Amino acid sequence: MKLHKESKGTIAVASILFAIIAAASIYFLEMWSLLIIVPLLVIYSLVFWFFRVPNRDILDHVENVIAPVDGKVVMIKEVEEDEFIKGKAIQVSIFMSPLNVHICRYPVSGDVIYKKYHPGKYLVAWHEKSSTENERTTIAVESLTKHKVVFRQIAGYVARRIVFYCNEGDKAKAGHEFGFIKFGSRMDIFLPLDTEIICKIGDKTKGGVDVIAKMRD
């Protein structure tokens, strides 16, 4: 199983803690140490599972908007996007549980025209105000169809580290990685009002693969 590059520090710390606790349990509890070691081993294995990098066949897309993350669609509604669009947009929100792949991918191809990191709170990721009050990074891409698409990485109560690799002026390619969020979070996508939304609330998404919307010419 291939692991994400962001896993190195976390797995190193988890390995040291596991070794120390396991050794102490065996020394002090002998056979009863299994009551601690077995659950600990499950948690340790989940750390590796969280940082997995699945093989995905990424296709070229022009009009399609691709799911930027694995997760579940929890919101589709018309909103005011005040940071970049400064007007009405359709917001599609995808919640990621700690068991989902947490690689963040570009939803459209084009040019990165805006990027800004915001420190903030750590409300639970499904809270409506998490989009504007939590720690977050907002990125905007001018798509190949000349539409402006905004998407936002949002840290949740558990996820407290947002990583992003893109900069203004970079070329975005739909389905390709631009960042990572650790341990449960949310991604909001803001689309033009005339966008055809294909997904619906409750849908499970596969980042870089599933089409969630189509841009109109």
Instruction: Give the tens place of pLDDT for each residue, 54-81.
Output: 999 888 888 899 999 999 999 999 999 9
The pLDDT of residue 157 is 64
Strands (E), the chain: 64-66, 71-81, 87-96, 103-105, 110-118, 136-143, 148-155, 162-164, 171-172, 177-181, 185-191, 196-197, 204-205, 211-214
Cα 70–45–54 angle (5° rounding)?
Answer: 35
Same domain, 85 and 32: no
Same domain, 31 and 101: no
Which range, 96-105, 119-128, 170-179, is most confident? 170-179
Give domain status of residue 133, yes or no.
Answer: yes
Active site residues: 185
Same domain, 32 and 101: no
Same domain, 33 and 80: no
CATH code at 161?
A: 2.70.70
The pLDDT of residue 144 is 93
Range of the domain at 36: 7-50
Q: How many domains does the chain have?
A: 2
pTM, full prediction = 0.88
Same domain, 37 and 119: no
Give domain status of residue 13, yes or no.
Answer: yes
Stretch among 29-38, 40-49, 124-133, 147-156 having the lowest mean pLDDT:
124-133
